Structure 1
Amino acid sequence: MLELDLHTVPPETGGFDPVAVLTGRGRPLLLHDAVAAIHRAAEDDRVAGLIARVQFPLAEPGPVQELREAIAAFTAVKPSLAWSETYPGTLSYYLASAFGEVWMQPSGTVGLVGFATSPLFLREAFDKLGIEAQFVTRGEYKSVVNKFTEDRYTDAHREADSRLIESLRSQVWEAIAASRELDVTALDALADKAPLLRDDAVAGGLVDRIGFRDEAYARIAELVGAPGISPETGDADSEQAPPRLYLSRYARATAPRSGSPLSASPLPPIPGRKGRPTIAVVTVHGMIVSGRGGPQLLPVGGPSAGGDTIAAALREAAADDSVAAVVLRVNSPGGSVNASETIWREVNRVRRRGKPVVASMGAVAASGGYYIAMAADTIVANPGTITGSIGVVTGKLVTRELKERLGVTSDAVRTNRNADAWSTNQPFTEEQQALVEAEADLCYGDFVARVAEARGMTVDAVDKIARGRVWTGADAAERGLVDELGGLRTAITRAKVLAGIEPDEDVRLVGYPGSSVLDMLRPKPSSQPTAASLPEAAAALLGRTVTGALGQLEQSMTGVTALWLGNHRF
């Protein structure tokens, strides 16, 4: 019996977590590990059923949909049960509805309240503080800096957000209605009364039973036909009831021998040795920045995807003859124009080497996240993925007045008129403003033109659905920005087909870039891809001393180090 505790949705990536190492927690269960393990369990005769506590308050729709799809596939062939003290939000219950039975404690509620947005606007506060927001945007829907420049929704911002949450509601309502055999209209009426207390939740068909944890465990044991269950206590005969195993333990125990499918990339196979076809999965997680980027190591902030790091990973995958195709897994809201363009270039170069590239969009792949995905042969997104936002924003916050109020003064000397253009001490001059506008025009024009070329559309057609507007994956697919709806599993299958591999054929999945301690700390000798230098290393092993060969192999372990943060953002 598999157990799954979902106080949070499994994360996209783990990276190196020194706190986890010190506390002995080990590597967390990642989203792709959980999804793959649930699909394996559905076909594993040793697994009798699945029970999960589903009690997360907040989550992003895309990852929840990937997890839900796997649970629904399991439920189609084996008993499953979701239980919770309470279902604190819409997506929490949405995921629970994919299980065969849904249970809740007596004091709980079903928080199927729908979707809402409530952005924060700081313009009046900035006026009082003496901060001037000076930004240039291309696309009236590009709302990322509205928090600084507006005091309420603009018409375009409201239109985009309204459509976004309406699309999400439609997806979630239809899925719940199908799983629970309810009418969508009736479900919407229930949502208007939510959060629902136990009697209304049961009467409305959202919850099967009101009960406690021990009763839920007794029920799942009953569903799988385990003998020795006591109706009074819910206890099972330990000798006859199926043993329980957390999904994280099952995932590690049943993972492919080559390791976790998307773990840090190992050394490439020895030349001449045949094996399973390899699909490289290059993960872009977090804000896109110039340089190396890196995982989140502090309690504040978040991970970043370095343009140099991702570009090097793509070069290495392209140079490895054992790699048949590349899946670019994107979970990024965008970032640096320059770094995004660097990654976009390498995606194109991979394709020119004859290797298909499939973009897989996770929770969000917008702005720069869409920029790097658009060059792929195929784009796959979850229905609830946040994508699009084809636009440009750049600018600065001028804090001169605030500093003066605080008694802080500043002065400047410069060699040329625009040397201090990006200083926060004064606004742009007319000349500087014109330069910023021209650069924004150039970036937006390139963005739209490249989307048009990649998607086989006219520039005018792209501009109508661009202008900084965000879409769900489902809406993006209707407008030609996405090819297929699904998660990472769907993208890998598509990559197999494009590479001439049978969809059901077993492949070796290798993750890039590496995230081990060694990958993070060891300096790299050059930017030459490991795979490209492997034949020379192999020749050295055959024709030179062992010491010389090891030195050559060590020299082939490569990377790129640089750091530069630009001012312009997608």
Structure 2
Amino acid sequence: MKTAHFIKQVFTVAVGFFVSLLFLLLITIWGVSQLASNDSSKHEVRVNSILQLNMQGRAVELVHESLLGSNKGIIDLNLIKKAIHKAKDDSRIKAIYLELSYFDAGWAALEEIREALLSFKKQGKTIVAYGDSYSQKSYYLASVADEIVLNPSGLLEFQGLSVTIDFYTKLFENICIKPIIFRIGAYKSAIEPLCLNKMSEESRKQTGDYLSLLHEHFLKNIGLERNIKVSKLKEFAHNLSVVLPTDALYNKMITKIAYEEESKKSLVQQFNESDATVNKYFVSYKHYTHLNQQPDVANNIAVVVAEGQIINGVSSAGYVGASDFVRTIERVKKDPDIKAVVLRIDSPGGSVLASDIMCQAIEELKEVKPVVASMSNVVASGGYYIAAPCHYIVAQPTTITGSIGIFGILFDTTKLMQKIGIECDVVKTSPSADFLNPRTTCSQEESKFFYKILQSHYETFLQKVSKGRGLSMNKVKSLASGKVYAGTVAKQNGLVDELGGMEKAIEKAASLANLTGTYRIGCFPYPKTKLEQLLEYTSSNIKMELLSSLAEEHQILNHLQAIRKRQGWQAILPYTIDIK
């Protein structure tokens, strides 16, 4: 017993020593990084400085700190916009340098960055864009620039927009799994990838409708900035006639063919002819936005971000957890300094139960403070569910919204179990005691009961929209059935109040709260620090983060991960929309 006690003490001391060592290491790393970041000479804003927007990565509304790695490849959308708006009124900043080689974002996010750049340009300041190559999304931003530079070996991918959907019906047939599908609404096609091999006519029609609207908007705005007719741009895309650098230059889609260092040097010399030093004039947007933070004032507007699929429980990268969301709303509601709230949504929807819980929290919040919804790239189904109760809704013309509908899926794995040698037997006290057992199919009575539940949730969804938007039930029903709309159409049919971005939503929130003086904008929820993540980390968290990293690289894993997280009835967009 004494030996066991001694070993236990030694083990306890050893564990304590290694934990203390780990914390000391983390504190040392943090201290060194702080000293490095506080090197003022490195980030000095000089006269005739150039704001450098290194846009290599994917833009997101909310950056989640990653314990297992850096956030390389993740761009904070709000930080980008903040830097541009700040630079617009800073006399020391003469130009913006856009590095757009490997940039990706949703179309509504692109619209907001583009609007900020145009506002900067209206002050008589210069914008130069450079790309090793340009995707259509990155070129949409580059089109506002005074000079568009393309690498001699690069390409301009200007070929029209498309939506591609993967179908898994054959996959499930091959592995002997039968999806049992329940849905309401002919346009609620979230389940189509699981039961069809191509789009239904309803899905194809609505996809074509909003894709055409987005394409026309895209071409019109590019045409205005480059002084090229829309018909000519369509011809370029149809014939792939501006893909090569020389063709793009000839057709005035770009202004220069050059390497990056040459384009940087040329820009610096525009404002500093006598100084050959290039790098000292470039200011990183990340450091620039942290200089001279907003002053403390009594009146604040909270921007609450809901980004990703809606699920029960806690939030993580790509998912909005209802319990975390409700805690954030409660915090905002109780803060006396917060006078109004902007709900920033970028979500295709998800769990009906989680959406309803979040909707209820918003309804309670709006009783005490003005709430304005700001729609980003996709605000559909469950995403629209939580937007509906807000006092006012603002969306971009390119926002994808609507999809008011609901579905449920069960997976019958009976044949798979039999094929691999697993048999199942059951003893029941009532006919439907094993109703939700995934290894069994549904009886006719059970299917009817499923649809009864589904209809009940759908009616609740319609009522929430009717009440929140002040529309009759008949009007809501005509807009529902899973139909998807671009922001411009949603404005026409009453699902949206005004077209615009986050700034317009903030202005409206301030107006509703009667804020006439200076007010501060705070973003919620606060991202967890690496130390906070370390304290609550478990092996399951590590496995999920590794799976998320893999899912980002492989689309099929992303779909399977999303299916795994879906519990109960779903109010979610038909499929993952990635317009390229």
User: TM bucket by the smaller chain?
Assistant: 0.7 to 0.9
Q: 1:567 aligns to what?
A: 568
Q: 1:17 aligns to what?
A: 66
Task: List 4+ stretches of structure 1 deviating above 4 A.
Answer: 25-29, 518-523
Is the 8 Å Cα contact of residues 126 and 146 (structure 2) preserved in structure 1? yes
2: CA distance, partners of 1:508 / 1:295:
27
Residue pairs, 1:217-236, within 5 angstroms? 217-223=264-270, 225-228=271-274, 236=276
Residues 470 and 17 of structure 1: CA distance in aligned 2, closer, same or farther (over 3 Å) = same
1:476 Cα deviation after fit = 1.4
Is the 8 Å Cα contact of residues 80 and 220 (structure 1) preserved in structure 2? no
Task: Choose from 179, 184, 197 the match for 2:244.
Answer: 197
- Tell me the SS of whatever aligns to 1:482: coil
Task: Choose from 288, 301, 305 the match for 2:310.
Answer: 288
Is 1:65–2:111 an aligned residue pair? yes
Is 1:514–2:521 an aligned residue pair? no
Residue pairs, 1:37-186, within 5 angstroms? 37-56=83-102, 58-77=104-123, 78-87=125-134, 89-186=135-232
> What amino acid is aligned across from residue 482 of structure 1 in structure 2?
V
Q: 2:343 aligns to what?
A: 328
> What amino acid is aligned across from residue 346 of structure 2 in structure 1?
N
Task: Choose from 274, 278, 287 the match for 1:249.
Answer: 287
Is the 8 Å Cα contact of residues 10 and 34 (structure 1) preserved in structure 2? no
1:522 Cα deviation after fit = 7.9
Q: 2:260 aligns to what?
A: 213
Deviation track 1:95-125 (CA, whole Å, cap 9, x = no partner) reads 1112221110122221111111221122233
1:413 Cα deviation after fit = 3.2
1:57 Cα deviation after fit = 6.0
- Tell me the SS of whatever aligns to 1:171: helix
Is the 8 Å Cα contact of residues 133 and 150 (structure 2) preserved in structure 1? yes
2: CA distance, partners of 1:84 / 1:372:
38
Residues 521 and 279 of structure 1: CA distance in aligned 2, closer, same or farther (over 3 Å) = farther
Is 1:319–2:356 an aligned residue pair? no
Q: 2:376 aligns to what?
A: 362
- Tell me the SS of whatever aligns to 1:121: coil
Is 1:493–2:499 an aligned residue pair? no
Residues 57 and 247 of structure 1: CA distance in aligned 2, closer, same or farther (over 3 Å) = closer
2: CA distance, partners of 1:432 / 1:228:
81
Q: 1:548 aligns to what?
A: none
2: CA distance, partners of 1:26 / 1:147:
32
Residue pairs, 1:284-433, within 5 angstroms? 284-291=306-313, 293-296=314-317, 303-353=318-368, 355-433=369-447
1:420 Cα deviation after fit = 2.2
Is the 8 Å Cα contact of residues 285 and 331 (structure 1) preserved in structure 2? yes
1:255 Cα deviation after fit = 3.6
CA RMSD of superposed structures (Å): 2.2
> What amino acid is aligned across from residue 121 of structure 1 in structure 2?
F
2: CA distance, partners of 1:156 / 1:294:
33
Is the 8 Å Cα contact of residues 300 and 521 (structure 2) preserved in structure 1? yes
Q: TM-score, normalising length from structure 1? A: 0.82
Residues 172 and 27 of structure 1: CA distance in aligned 2, closer, same or farther (over 3 Å) = closer
Q: TM-score, normalising length from structure 2? A: 0.80
Deviation track 1:66-97 (CA, whole Å, cap 9, x = no partner) reads 1111112112221110011111x211211111
- Tell me the SS of whatever aligns to 1:48: strand
Residues 415 and 281 of structure 1: CA distance in aligned 2, closer, same or farther (over 3 Å) = farther
> What amino acid is aligned across from residue 14 of structure 1 in structure 2?
V
1: CA distance, partners of 2:419 / 2:566:
30
Is 1:5–2:54 an aligned residue pair? yes
1:500 Cα deviation after fit = 0.7
1:565 Cα deviation after fit = 6.9
Task: Choose from 484, 502, 516 the match for 2:498.
Answer: 484
Is the 8 Å Cα contact of residues 141 and 156 (structure 1) preserved in structure 2? yes
> What amino acid is aligned across from residue 527 of structure 2 in structure 1?
S
1: CA distance, partners of 2:498 / 2:482:
22
Residues 27 and 56 of structure 1: CA distance in aligned 2, closer, same or farther (over 3 Å) = closer
Is the 8 Å Cα contact of residues 227 and 237 (structure 1) preserved in structure 2? no
1: CA distance, partners of 2:74 / 2:184:
40
Residues 27 and 248 of structure 1: CA distance in aligned 2, closer, same or farther (over 3 Å) = farther
Is the 8 Å Cα contact of residues 55 and 75 (structure 2) preserved in structure 1? no
Q: 2:44 aligns to what?
A: none
Task: Choose from 470, 486, 493 the match for 1:472.
Answer: 486
Q: How many residues align?
A: 491
> What amino acid is aligned across from residue 108 of structure 1 in structure 2?
G
Deviation track 1:521-563 (CA, whole Å, cap 9, x = no partner) reads 889xxxxxxxxxxxxxxxxxxxxxxxxxxxxxxxxxxxxxxxx
1:228 Cα deviation after fit = 2.7
- Which structure shows the bigger proportion of residues in helix conformation? 2
> What amino acid is aligned across from residue 246 of structure 1 in structure 2?
S
Is the 8 Å Cα contact of residues 340 and 371 (structure 1) preserved in structure 2? yes
Deviation track 1:296-348 (CA, whole Å, cap 9, x = no partner) reads 3xxxxxx3212122122212212222111011111111111111111111111
- Tell me the SS of whatever aligns to 2:522: strand
Q: 1:272 aligns to what?
A: none
Q: 2:552 aligns to what?
A: none
Residues 521 and 290 of structure 1: CA distance in aligned 2, closer, same or farther (over 3 Å) = farther
1: CA distance, partners of 2:416 / 2:216:
46
Q: 1:551 aligns to what?
A: none
Which structure 2 segments of 5+ residues have no match?
1-49, 537-564, 572-580
1:400 Cα deviation after fit = 1.2
Is the 8 Å Cα contact of residues 8 and 55 (structure 1) preserved in structure 2? no
Is the 8 Å Cα contact of residues 58 and 75 (structure 2) preserved in structure 1? no
1:28 Cα deviation after fit = 6.2
More deviation, 31-40/379-388: 379-388
- Tell me the SS of whatever aligns to 2:60: coil
